[in-house]
Amino acid sequence: MLYKDLVIIGGGPAGLAAALEAAEQGVKDVMIVERDSGLGGILQQCIHNGFGLHVFKEELTGPEYAQRFIDRLENTGIEVLLDTMVIEITQDKRIFAVNSKKGVLEIQAKAVILAMGCRERTRGALNIPGFRPAGIFTAGTAQRYVNIEGYMPGKEIVILGSGDIGLIMARRFTLEGARVKCVLEIMPYSNGLTRNVVQCLEDYGIPLRLSHTVIEIHGKKRVEGVTVAKVDENLKPILSTAEFIPCDTLLLSVGLIPENELTKMTGADFDANTQGPMVNQWMETSCEGIFACGNVLHVHDLVDFVTMEAKLAARGAARYLKEKDGAYRQMSVIAGEGLRYVLPHAVGVEKMLDEKQNFFMRSTRPMKKAKLAIESENGTIKTKMLSYVKPSEMINIELGKSEISKAAGHLKFILQEEGASDE
Amino acid sequence: MSDKRNVTCIICPVGCRIEVEIENGNILNLSGYRCRRGLQYAKDEVTSPKRILTTTVRLKAEAAHVLPVRTRAPIPKSKLKEAMQELKNVSVAAPVNMGDIVLKDVAGTGVDVIASRNWS
């Protein structure tokens, strides 16, 4: 059995930032366990630019963003186990992992940071009728084929779902000479960042068809086309609008699911909306000494926020290793009207690491102008006006220690649309 | 007669909607931007739109597949296709360091294409 102070599961952006921050905080015995043959996680296939504007104040590609962290690992003493898959974790922080060289490894950690990321929703989650021909890919799989393996999965492409990876792949396929016929989105608004709709679709004249979905996939051996239809306000297809679009490839960009099989083994409390564990202000789960950050906690749209969150988790873990008091039941944070979730789920002002605490949240629907109010049992703590709120763009609000200390009972975040009728 | 164009800034995730008033190719007024970079982006967008190109080139290495590359700076949008065409014929031998020049002066833009990851 191996003994480690801090084990980090996952060597993507969350795991890398957490490991480096923990080392900086003086944690000596840090180990990263990564199932892939290299570090960087999904960033290595995200070759497009747009990363790092918050953290590095410059625009980097995914691999460049990852490399900044990988380069810093040297001389830190952080141990990295590659090609190693964690298969079990217990409540008392015992980790079982396997690799082809050492077989089964058993590691007893004093603290654990979960940074396993997320995976894509597949066709099975959508129940689209039709045969099971070749040519149906999740957007991320297609991204790996094109950007890492170097081959094209198809020539005539229809993309279902306007998630960011789908939008990015629409541009990538077009640049590589394929024809992207359209992007279909079942909701009446795009599910990706506005900048991606502009630079990936509008730049290349690719139509974004809102309130549309695929109702049938044609072809037996290879995709031959899809039938698409408009949907009504209940998202039910309107059959009279059905239309056949020939294509050889269907890409799915229909959402991401935090990969929490391991987290569930610890018995940590879960949030049904994020599909990740509940955490307090140090990103600690309800399971003492086990922390979570990045897409395993909730799906992010910007890696910069993953980095910020991972650093917080690392500082929480460093603090836990020193003081050995964790998993406090504290003042709960509630997502009220207009918000799908707010993170962290609990705060305790006496135990805050900094003078300020970041809160991350997502709206339930797009709003042009909205008022965010933070309330407690003894009244409103703070209000802030926001413009162009979208469910796909995470809202990040900072509250000072003095503001949080004014609250009693709970902190409730409410988002209300303002002046909906203008323009 | 002046013309109004709406530009969505792509510099950062805020995605400001910037209104640009143009007359005979001259910018009369800009509004809705929240930073200097956005102001510059909107000006460029109506006069000569530019983009950073990110793509891959072939890698002459054993296990290798393709190497991610990017233009060091934004290049005119109208040159993207030509740049892709030129890069089709480029292949690089490992080891490669992030930032190494892969192709000089792509599509006559004066901008170099550089590697965006290490490959040993």
DSSP B77: G
**Which amino acid does the sequence have at B111?**
V
What mean pLDDT is predicted for residues A216-242?
96
Q: Do residues A163 and A187 lie in contact, with contact meaning Cβ atoms separated by under 8 Å?
A: no
Burial of B6 by CB count in 10 Å (0-12 exposed, 13-18 middle, 19+ buried)?
exposed
**Is domain B54-115 annotated with CATH 3.10.530.10?**
yes
Quickly tell me which residue has 């003994």 as its tokens: A3
Which residues, given as ranges, of chain B have pLDDT below 70? 1, 13, 62-64
* The pLDDT of residue A49 is above 70: yes
Q: Do residues B17 and B8 lie in contact, with contact meaning Cβ atoms separated by under 8 Å?
A: yes
Phi/psi for A339 (5° steps) reads -125, 140
Smallest CA–CA distance, residue B101 to chain A, in Å, is 15
> Does a cis peptide bond (omega within 30 degrees of 0) precede residue B95?
yes
Smallest CA–CA distance, residue A300 to chain B, in Å, is 13
Does residue A237 share a domain with residue A147?
A: yes
How many domains does chain A divide into? 3
Handedness of CA A145, A147, A151, A157 (dihedral sign): positive
Q: Pull the structure tokens for residue A271.
A: 């949030």
What are the Cα distances from residue A315, in Å, to A197, A292, A354, A407? 36, 12, 10, 24
Which residues on chain B are in Cβ contact (under 8 Å) with A146? 56
pLDDT of residue A422: 45
CA Rg value for chain A: 22
Q: Which helix (H) or strand (E) holds A317?
A: helix A303-323
Q: Do residues A330 and A351 lie in contact, with contact meaning Cβ atoms separated by under 8 Å?
A: yes
3-class secondary-structure state, position A3: strand
Does residue A240 share a domain with residue A308?
A: no
Q: Do residues A197 and A183 lie in contact, with contact meaning Cβ atoms separated by under 8 Å?
A: no
Phi/psi for B105 (5° steps) reads 45, 65
Percent of chain A with pLDDT over 70: 98
- Asked which of A296, A327, A358 is the last residue of a domain, the reply is A327
Q: Pull the structure tokens for residue B101.
A: 């020049």
Does residue A239 share a domain with residue A206?
A: yes
pLDDT of residue A170: 97
Q: Do residues A249 and A154 lie in contact, with contact meaning Cβ atoms separated by under 8 Å?
A: yes
Q: Pull the structure tokens for residue A163.
A: 């998630």
pLDDT tens string A367-411: 989 999 999 998 999 999 998 888 888 999 999 988 988 888 899
Closest-CA residue of A relative to B51 is A199
Quickly tell me which residue has 């469910």 as its tokens: A391
Higher pLDDT, residue A420 or A70: A70
pLDDT of residue A423: 42
Which residues, numbered 342 to 361 in chain A, qualify as contacts with chain B under a Cβ-Cβ cut-off of 8 Å? none
Handedness of CA A303, A308, A313, A315 (dihedral sign): positive
Closest-CA residue of A relative to B80 is A175
What mean pLDDT is predicted for residues A243-257?
96
pLDDT tens string A71-80: 999 889 999 9
d(CA B115, CA B120): 13
pLDDT of residue A318: 96
Does residue A178 share a domain with residue A153?
A: yes
pLDDT of residue B64: 61
pLDDT tens string A306-340: 999 999 999 999 999 998 877 666 789 999 999 99
Contacts of residue A282, defined as CB under 8 A and 6 or more positions apart, other chains included, come to A291, A312, A313, A315, A316, A317, A319, A320, A351, A353
Domain residue limits at A173: 122-254
Does residue A375 share a domain with residue A334?
A: yes
- Asked which of A239, A254, A269 is the last residue of a domain, the reply is A254
Q: What CATH number corresponds to the domain at position A99?
A: 3.50.50.60
Does residue A161 share a domain with residue A270?
A: no
Does residue A131 share a domain with residue A109?
A: no
Phi/psi for B79 (5° steps) reads -100, 0
Q: Which of A81, A69, A60 lies closest to A24, judged by CA?
A: A69
Does residue A170 share a domain with residue A82?
A: no
Does residue A379 share a domain with residue A300?
A: no
* The pLDDT of residue A102 is above 90: yes
Contacts of residue A412, defined as CB under 8 A and 6 or more positions apart, other chains included, come to A333, A334, A336, A374, A375, A376
Kindly determine whether residue B56 and residue A47, on different chains, have CB atoms separated by under 8 Å.
yes
Q: Pull the structure tokens for residue A366.
A: 């797009």
Kindly determine whether residue B84 and residue A59, on different chains, have CB atoms separated by under 8 Å.
no
Does residue A116 share a domain with residue A59?
A: yes
Which residues on chain B are in Cβ contact (under 8 Å) with A393? 13, 15
Phi/psi for A333 (5° steps) reads -105, 130
Q: Where in chain B is the domain with CATH 2.20.25?
A: 3-47
d(CA A25, CA A73): 14
Q: Pull the structure tokens for residue A17.
A: 């930032």
**Which amino acid does the sequence have at A171?**
R
- Asked which of A223, A254, A285 is the last residue of a domain, the reply is A254
Does residue A409 share a domain with residue A295?
A: no
Indicate left, alpha or beta for A338 from its phi (over 0: left) and psi (-120 to 50: alpha): left
Closest-CA residue of A relative to B54 is A48
d(CA A164, CA A233): 24
d(CA B4, CA B22): 6
Q: Where in chain B is the domain with CATH 3.10.530.10?
A: 54-115
Which residues, numbered 36 to 65 in chain B, qualify as contacts with chain A under a Cβ-Cβ cut-off of 8 Å? 51-56, 58, 65
Q: Do residues A169 and A176 lie in contact, with contact meaning Cβ atoms separated by under 8 Å?
A: no
Count A/B contacts: CB-CB distance under 8 Å.
77
Percent of chain A with pLDDT over 90: 80
CB neighbours (10 Å) of residue B57? 20
pLDDT tens string A143-196: 999 999 998 999 999 999 998 999 999 999 999 999 999 999 999 998 888 889
Q: Does B4 touch chain A (CB under 8 A)?
A: no
Does residue A235 share a domain with residue A138?
A: yes
pLDDT tens string A23-42: 999 999 999 999 999 999 99
Strands B26-31 and A276-277: unpaired
pLDDT of residue A405: 87
Q: What CATH number corresponds to the domain at position A422?
A: 2.60.40
**Is domain B3-47 annotated with CATH 2.20.25?**
yes
Q: Do residues A326 and A284 lie in contact, with contact meaning Cβ atoms separated by under 8 Å?
A: yes
